Structure 1
Amino acid sequence: MSMHPARLVRRPLAAAMLLALAVPGAAMAQSDREKELEARVAELERQVQALLTTQQQQAAQPAAPAVPAGKQPVQATTITPNANPGTTFSYTGFIKMDAMVTETSDGRIADGSSGRLFYVPSTIPVGGAGADGGDPYTDFHAQFSRFGLGVDHVTANGDKFKGYVEADFFGGGSNALAGNETATNTYAVTLRHAYVSWNNWLAGQTWSNFMDVAALPDAVDFVGPTDGTVFVRQAQVRYTKGPWSVSLENPQTTVNPYLSAAARFNSGDNVLPDLTARWLTKGDWGHFTVAGLVRQFKWLDETETGAALSVSGKFNLGASDDIRWAVNGGSGIGRYLAFGIGSDVVVDANGALHAQDGYGGFVAWRHVFSPKVRTNLMYAASHFDNDTSLTGYGATERTQSFHANLIYSPFPKLDVGAEISYGQRSLEDDREGDLKRLHTSIKYSF
């Protein structure tokens, strides 16, 4: 079948017109997609440039130190928020376990008393019940563990301030099960030191200025050669300038009633504080010091005065040895010597006071075998000139003791010690009682 010539001409023309109309539309659609793509690329470039700028700025800043995992700080602020800016804080002390076996010739020391925990000459029984002696007895305790808190501050002008509080657990309990060995062995916190110092001034409770702490021997026992040692902590105001120091300290009078040494008591009637003065010199060779004490005693309306002198020191004998010593004596030295083994005053039949004369001292040799092992040998004694017409024959006339120890430090700040002691107390009627003790301890200081 043949087609009409006109139709043959119209078909190619229609196809051409259709193509002509489609090509610009396709070209226009392609142009819109390219524009969208270009816009997306431009946005990505902007984001990348911003990221590079941020990284460059961070690289220019010092990097903060990395905190290891598990080592995050306990707190982000100061532990003393109320202190002056720049104040430093310290926490010190030690944990100590004491274990001892004691044998006394004239009866046992009362359970729970201080003499069961450390060497106290006045607690040695003399001529009491069971004076024929008895079996040894054992005591364990950790009451002398202690802690101390200190704050120090120096002002812009160079003024130095210090505050210090220290306590141990040598105190009674607060309930029926506490303070004894029945169940919990719980003991109360006991104040040792609490003072503030400002440059040369000190106010508060601490060691008496009449006491030479630096001369105390390296003992396993709480003190060791207690018999001849001045040992007092009390409230005071002290001024120190160079080698000199003076203080006004808490007064107290220990009274021996007429013919009744066993009934001794503290009067609490004092008005004037105890006055002390000390001179100290020291160097690589050790130290030497002299201290004086002037006191007023008072009971009811009666008064008396007394004075005492203390000379002590430490001499280094080479790198491994030293000698520590003290000589103390005077009228009314009573409560300052050997935990108050003697009275300050005795009362006569008319109620008048008479200061008691007494003296004592100690010497100790320390030898270091190695950084881990050291030993100490100690001897101490005290003596009181009692007027038996006033005190009676039950007053303590003299005491003495020997001590030897070996201390092993397997690690720094950890001491394992053992000490053997022999002590003796004698009365004016010539009766005597003695003490034998093996004292061991483990002590970790921080």
Structure 2
Amino acid sequence: MVTSKTKKLLLASSIVVASAAAQAGYEIKLSDEDKISFGGYIKVDARYVDGKVAYRDFWIGTGTPLEQSASQFRIFANETRFNTKYVHGDVTGFIELDFWGGGGNEVISNSANPRIRHAFIKYKDVLAGQTWSTFMNTSAIPESADFAGATPGLVFIRQGQVRYTLGNFQVSLENPETWGGDPANDDLPDVVARYNLKGDWGSVSFSALGRQLNTALGNTETAIGASIAGRIKTFGKDDFRFQLHQGELGRYIGVMVAKDVVGEKVEDMTAYLAAYRHFWTETLRTTVLYGKAKADVSGADRRQWSVNLFQNLTKQLAVGVEVGNFEMADMNVDSNYAQLSMKYVL
């Protein structure tokens, strides 16, 4: 049995090792039932944007249209993140922070506030807390220098939830929010059901979403939608990643492409993403991707493509360059971008 004093010494020494050694993760066994691990990465980006959509550190499903083209360059490290996992028998606690919480300025300090990405407790087959929505398949997100890569075609949402997993089947109750309507009367949780298929060939998920939405005039509407997403192994280490989403999905799709409710109408959306990653060598690879989201009621039509090249300098250190374009087709504006990234996995 490890004493309390020994635990503190192990924890302190591991933090020192973690700051100096190049390893992919750090785990300390405190007892037969208790262990703690640390992970995350440091990522530095240099980004140049030119066009009629205003500069952003990473593209989301919307932007600010400009009357005249503008160019801007920034160097930042906000995507850097740190996580800690605590395990005691069948109980796991997980916390992760990054630095997209705002604050700072370009004049003096460039300080950035940390924010919670994930904070949840898992006991056997039950998870409770904030993490990726069960509707989202993270394995279908392509490798990119841009924060998520082709966000118009992604399900991309973290929120509070209670999830139950039974083999390949998952069901969850998640935070409701009627974006564009009357969220003060959101009194029923969103319901998500998902089925996962996995094999040597890759993985595919089938997800369904049901919600109750409340309009500004007090009407209640039912919204449903579905998603298929996956990663398929092709030749050698290559893979094809895809997502296809259809229905009254609103805020779940495209990171602010369209609201859940527009006036008194529920928004209906179609979105998709396709990405192919090819390995030129064991450590040199390229991803080509394209994503699009189109909303029927608001008419929002957003598109993004990119191509990149990444090289691992060491097992934990990778550098990459990416060029691409983000387009708000419904407003007839777009911007090109180029980004250089360096990422050190802890």
Q: Same fold (TM over 0.5)?
A: yes
Contact residue 303 and residue 329 of structure 2 kept, 8 A: no
Amino acid aligned to 2:271: G
Q: Does the residue aligned with 1:370 lie in a helix, a strand or coil?
A: coil
Q: Is 1:436 aligned with 2:339?
A: no
Tell me which residue corresponds to 1:391. none
Partner Cα separation in structure 2 for residue 190 and residue 285 of structure 1: 36
Contact residue 60 and residue 256 of structure 2 kept, 8 A: no
| Residues 289 and 74 of structure 1: CA distance in aligned 2, closer, same or farther (over 3 Å) | closer
Deviation beyond 2 Å, 4+ runs, structure 1: 73-80, 83-86, 266-269, 299-302
The structure with the largest strand share of the pair is: 2
Q: Which protein has greater RCO, CA pairs closer than 8 Å, 6+ apart? A: 2
Q: Does the residue aligned with 1:254 lie in a helix, a strand or coil?
A: coil
The structure with the largest helix share of the pair is: 1
Partner Cα separation in structure 2 for residue 367 and residue 411 of structure 1: 19
Q: Is 1:373 aligned with 2:284?
A: yes
Q: Is 1:171 aligned with 2:101?
A: yes
Partner Cα separation in structure 1 for residue 295 and residue 47 of structure 2: 29
For 1:17-166, what aligned pairs fall within 5 Å after superposition? 75-76=8-9, 86-105=33-52, 108-109=54-55, 116-125=56-65, 128=66, 131-134=67-70, 136-154=71-89, 160-166=90-96
Contact residue 124 and residue 435 of structure 1 kept, 8 A: no
| Residues 140 and 269 of structure 1: CA distance in aligned 2, closer, same or farther (over 3 Å) | farther
Partner Cα separation in structure 1 for residue 10 and residue 280 of structure 2: 46
Contact residue 135 and residue 208 of structure 2 kept, 8 A: yes
Amino acid aligned to 2:9: A
1:75 deviates by 4.9
Per-residue Cα deviation, 1:247-287 (whole angstroms, up to 9, x for no partner): 0000101117xxxxxxxxx7343000000000011011001
Partner Cα separation in structure 2 for residue 237 and residue 422 of structure 1: 37
Contact residue 201 and residue 240 of structure 1 kept, 8 A: yes
Partner Cα separation in structure 2 for residue 89 and residue 76 of structure 1: 13
1:295 is aligned, of 211, 226, 243, to 211
Amino acid aligned to 2:86: V
Q: Does the residue aligned with 2:180 lie in a helix, a strand or coil?
A: strand
Gaps of 5+ in 1: 1-72, 110-115, 155-159, 174-178, 257-265, 348-352, 387-394
Identity in percent:
33
Gaps of 5+ in 2: 1-5, 13-26
Q: Does the residue aligned with 1:223 lie in a helix, a strand or coil?
A: coil
Tell me which residue corresponds to 1:362. 273
Q: Does the residue aligned with 1:255 lie in a helix, a strand or coil?
A: coil
Structure number, greater radius of gyration: 1
1:197 deviates by 0.4
For 1:125-274, what aligned pairs fall within 5 Å after superposition? 125=65, 128=66, 131-134=67-70, 136-154=71-89, 160-173=90-103, 179-255=104-180, 267-274=183-190
Per-residue Cα deviation, 1:53-107 (whole angstroms, up to 9, x for no partner): xxxxxxxxxxxxxxxxxxxx99536679xx986211000000010110001226x
Between Structure 1 and Structure 2, how many residues are aligned? 325
Amino acid aligned to 1:284: D
